[in-house]
Chains A and B, each alone.
Chain A
Amino acid sequence: MSGTAVIFRRELAGYFATPVAYVFIVIFLVMSGIFTFYLGGFFERGQADLQAFFNFQPWLYLFLIPAIGMRLWAEERKTGTIELLLSLPISLAGAVLGKFLAAWAFTAIALALTFPMWITVGILGEPDNGVVVAGYIGSLLMAGGYLAITSCISAITKNQVIAFVVAIVICFAFTVSGAPLVLDFFAGWAPETILAVVSSFSFITHFSSIIDGVIDVRDIIYFASLIAFWLFANAVIVDLKKAAG
């Protein structure tokens, strides 16, 4: 078994060894329900789709994903196990990837447990299942983006609270970078292209085009390269800490 797979298994089992996994899954499901049925107006919409469910997911992930990912590296540093991990015969990339994939798989499990939502829609009407599947794929990709950011931030500090808060701030910036809140800051002095670039970083822009049922290769590439970039930064940070001590 490769190092990545071994790390993956240990990390994933680690979530279920403590109450963290169960608390997270329950809160995720309850909050998803509240957002969908109350804020999203699932019934009032009178449409057999899961838009009400997916629309609020960026905001749910904004807080819950940093809560899952904050421990990835910060905890290793806190308990000193990072010294053990880095002296084992596995590559740094393998360790970074194994940890990330475990957290991502855990998110996927939580997301999969929202299937009653799909069943509900199926009973009430005739949803376009292709759109629902696209929504789930988009949701998982976006979760990966949040998670890669959190994993990288977690490598900077041994304090999980700091990792959590900083990760939320950065995730928030990526969530809303298409909104006036961020764009107004650049408007007026930055050229039009910068504005376009900044707004193209928005999770919501890419996510909402996917949940509309359009799986555009560009959106997939966006999330994939975002994940790759933050995981690369993650590895670089761990490596720099080896040099700095």
Chain B
Amino acid sequence: MAAMLEIKNLTKRFGPVLAVDDVSFDVGRGEVLGFLGPNGAGKSTTMKMVTGFLNPNGGSMRVCGHDVLREPLAAKRCIGYLPEGAPAYPDMTPHTYLNFIADIRGLTGSQRAERLDYVIARIGLDGVMEQSIETLSKGYKRRVGLAQALLHDPDVLILDEPTDGLDPNQKHEVRGLITEMAAEKAIVISTHILEEVEAVCTRAIIIAKGRVVADGTPQELEARSAYHNSVTLRLEAGAANDVRPTLEAMAGVLRVEATGDGAFILVPSGVEPIVDEVGRTARSAGWPVTELHVRPGRLDDVFRDITLDKEERT
């Protein structure tokens, strides 16, 4: 399968600051790539270059086979882009705005009507079509931006923080929408919300100080966590005090952390799962266990480890 978005050795300098430093990655059809990183890591800058708003200092970008620098119009036709903050013309209404976008995208006839109806219904803009955009709530503004990006049914979707400012229900809806479209398109979303990556992304890239520092499926990244395969053990109140030495003495346990509400987190020293051993020990000792489960490792631990580490080193 050919990559629909190919980025090679992309570099961008703002004066003395290297904002994007030799970034390369491909995204194929059916992939949802989560673009993660602390603020100022270069996520938005990368997206702005791919969509033709900024020119890079070096490297190349191809969208659906079109070089962004040499055939900008062809590349832009393939892209749907939600810029950071979802900017839209404040004095227009969603109605006039989406029609303007449809005009620019060259949508005509029945296809135009169909697409407009589809995005308006799917994104839930019915009630606000005739209200000026500046009077809309943050959530609606974001949805108008999303509708704009989806209108021409692009092959490549680039969404800069698509769920920022949405309430939990709206977030859920937007994630559902992304998952629904995923099979047909190559999608890149940038986000701070790590649960979002777990929910919708098939792959995640962590970027720090302009460099790609991790690239893999969310599960692979989670496996890099120190807490990967750690075990949470909760006992009935009162019983918790005496078991800690036993837990600490177990083979394969690196350390035991108390969570403060009566549970323990057992961190494994190696990659071998320890839950089996913990369960056996608890049963044979007759501990009143109320909760016992394995944690897959948390993405935010990995995120923090990788990005902080990177910042300290430089």
Contacts and interface: CB of A to CB of B under 8 A. Distances in A.
Interface of A: 1, 3, 6-7, 9-10, 13-14, 17-18, 79-84, 86-91, 242-245
A18 B158 CA distance: 32
Contact of B104 (A80, A90, A243): A90
Given A1-B103, A10-B100, A245-B12, A87 B87 contact: no
Interface string B40-65: 00000100100111110000000000
A84 B83 contact: yes
B294 interface: no
A7 B100 CA distance: 8
A87 B73 contact: no
25 contacts: A3-B104, A9-B100, A9-B103, A10-B89, A14-B92, A17-B91, A17-B92, A17-B132, A80-B83, A80-B84, A83-B51, A83-B53, A83-B87, A87-B79, A88-B76, A88-B105, A89-B74, A89-B76, A89-B105, A89-B106, A90-B104, A91-B73, A242-B54, A245-B12, A245-B19
Contacts of A81: 87-89
A242 B12 CA distance: 11
Nearest to B90: A79
A73 to B, nearest CB: 14
Contacts, number: 75
Contacts of A80: 83-85, 87
A14 B89 contact: yes
Contacts of A17: 91-92, 132
A87 B53 contact: yes
Contacts of B106: 89
Contact of A13 (B12, B74, B96, B104): B96
B55 A243 contact: yes
Contacts of A83: 48, 51, 53, 83-84, 87
Nearest to B148: A84
By Cβ-Cβ distance, the 4 closest A-B pairs, closest first, are: A80-B87, A87-B51, A89-B76, A6-B103
Contact of B81 (A10, A79, A82, A84): A84
Contact of A6 (B55, B79, B104): B104
Interface residues of B, number: 34
A29 to B, nearest CB: 23
A197 to B, nearest CB: 36
A86 B52 contact: yes
B29 interface: no
Contacts of B45: 245
A245 B104 contact: no
Contacts of B103: 1, 6, 9
Given A1-B103, A87-B53, A245-B54, 9 more contacts: A3-B104, A10-B100, A79-B90, A81-B89, A87-B81, A88-B76, A89-B73, A91-B73, A244-B14
Interface in B66-80: 73-74, 76-77, 79
Nearest to B77: A89
Contacts of A90: 73, 104
A87 B85 CA distance: 15
A84 B86 CA distance: 9
Nearest to A16: B91
Interface string B140-152: 0000000010000
Contact of B83 (A9, A14, A87): A87
Contacts of B83: 80, 83-84, 87
Which of A6, A18, A87 has the most chain B CB atoms closer than 10 A to its own CB?
Answer: A87
Nearest to B12: A245
B201 to A, nearest CB: 23
